[in-house]
Structure 1
Amino acid sequence: MANFNAAQLREIAIGLEASGQQFIWVVKKDPNAEEGKEEWLPDGYESRIRSKGLIIRGWAPQVLILDHEAVGGFVTHCGWNLTLEAVTAGMPMVTWPVAAEQFFNEKFVTQVLKIGVNIGVKQWVRLFGDSVKSERVEEAVKRVLVGEEAEEMRWRAKALAEMARGAVEEGGSSWSDLGALLQELRQQRLAHNEKI
């Protein structure tokens, strides 16, 4: 639902390159763009990042990417499903909320779980997100991937992933809660059928 304009995509591109970190960047295909002619892409960008970056245009297997051992962080808009996928994968996050509950989820990730770094957006918008400069992208990516703070986030994220896996295993809290819900629904159906 939210889109970044060409100027914001350019800032992201510059920030990712400046971070010096390896990355996979998934962007929507622009149906109006001529093949190889994207106005937001800095000149010569893809050849410069060839050894450390990959741009995927269109759909990407996000869960498979998050679960790969080489991936060290994830930039997310903080939708609940994406947040759960990142937590389950043990992935520290750069948070970039756009609307709705995403700002609350950001606080949960950065201030409660302490497994993320906020990119700095403050405004809830419907179609386009706050403008973030390349320097902020670079800084957030480095903070989540490099140094002692990154190591601590990674350690906490891995611990949370273990807890999440335990919750869905037989006997875990999610397993038990789902079983209790199913039992309650069966009882409700039986009670309803007896009234008829």
Structure 2
Amino acid sequence: MGAFMTHCGWNSVLECVAAGLPMVSCPHFTEQFMNEKLVVDVLWVGVPVGVKGAAQWGVDAEGVLATRQDVERAVAAVMDYGEEGSARRARAAKLGRKAREAVVHGGSSFRNVALLIQHVQQRASTRNPWIEKKPSDCR
């Protein structure tokens, strides 16, 4: 797969990053516009379709306002094998490698989840007087 077209929901953005894929972004509402800014302007791994009208500000509209030509332009840009497209694919691949390294044994996400589990286990094994009291005793 060369790229992924996404509405920029957080799950699809994370899946694309983890897969090392560049994205064509076509947000519909709310936080998807902020996620698009992350993908396009911060990570530089996405090409916006260019949603127009009230929808671009996160206001619910009758529909997303983008033309067939807007989509065609964005797909052509993300699939371009020129300097810009190659750089975008390289950044996406690098993010994918970093994401995979984070979840393997000893990676940063692996360690953080292990620390969270350890913390919860320690808290569960510690006697908490508030838990052992009756609700009427806690007033």
Q: So what's the TM-score if we normalise by structure 1?
A: 0.60
Name structure 1 gaps, 5 residues minimum.
Answer: 1-70
The residue number in structure 1 matching 2:69 is 135
Counterpart-to-counterpart distance in 2, 1:128 and 1:155: 37
Note if 1:106 corresponds to 2:36.
yes
Identity percentage over the alignment?
44
One-letter amino acid of the structure 1 residue matched with residue 41 of structure 2? Q
Structure 1 position 160, deviation (Å): 0.4
Tell me by how many angstroms 1:82 deviates: 0.5
Distance 1:102 1:170 in 2: 32
Match of 1:24 in 2: none
1:129 and 1:159 map into 2 onto residues whose CA distance is 35
Q: Is the 2:31–2:58 Cα contact (8 Å) retained in structure 1?
A: no
Tell me which structure has the larger Cα radius of gyration.
Answer: 2
> Aligned partner of 1:91: which letter?
L
Q: Name 1:6's counterpart in structure 2.
A: none
CA distance in 2 between partners of 1:129 and 1:151 (Å):
33
Please say if 1:167 is aligned against 2:110.
no
| Contact 1:123 1:130 (8 Å CA) reproduced | no
Alpha-carbon distance change, 151 to 186 in structure 1, aligned in 2, over 3 angstroms:
same
Inter-partner Cα distance in structure 1 for 2:77 and 2:104: 33
Question: How much does 1:172 deviate?
Answer: 0.6
Deviation at 1:127, TM superposition (A): 7.0
Output the amino acid matched with 1:182. Answer: I
- CA drift of 1:99 comes to 1.6
Matched, 1:150 2:85: yes
Q: Could you tell me which amino acid in structure 1 is paired with residue 36 of structure 2?
A: E
More helix, by proportion: 2
- The aligned runs of 1:22-171 (5 Å cut-off) are 71-121=1-51, 122-126=56-60, 128-146=62-80, 147-171=82-106
> How far apart are 1:78 and its partner, in Å?
0.6
CA distance in 2, matches of 1:117, 1:140: 6
Q: Over the residues paired in the alignment, what is the CA RMSD in angstroms?
A: 1.7
What amino acid is aligned across from residue 88 of structure 2 in structure 1?
A: M
Corresponding letter in the other structure for 2:117 = L
Q: Distance in 2 between matches of 1:171 and 1:128?
A: 48
TM-score (norm 2): 0.83
1:181 aligns with 2:116: yes
Partner-residue secondary structure (3-state), 1:94:
strand
- Whether the 8 Å contact between 1:96 and 1:119 is mirrored in structure 2 is yes
Kindly tell me the number of residue pairs found equivalent between the two proteins. Answer: 126
5+ residue gaps, structure 2, are 133-139
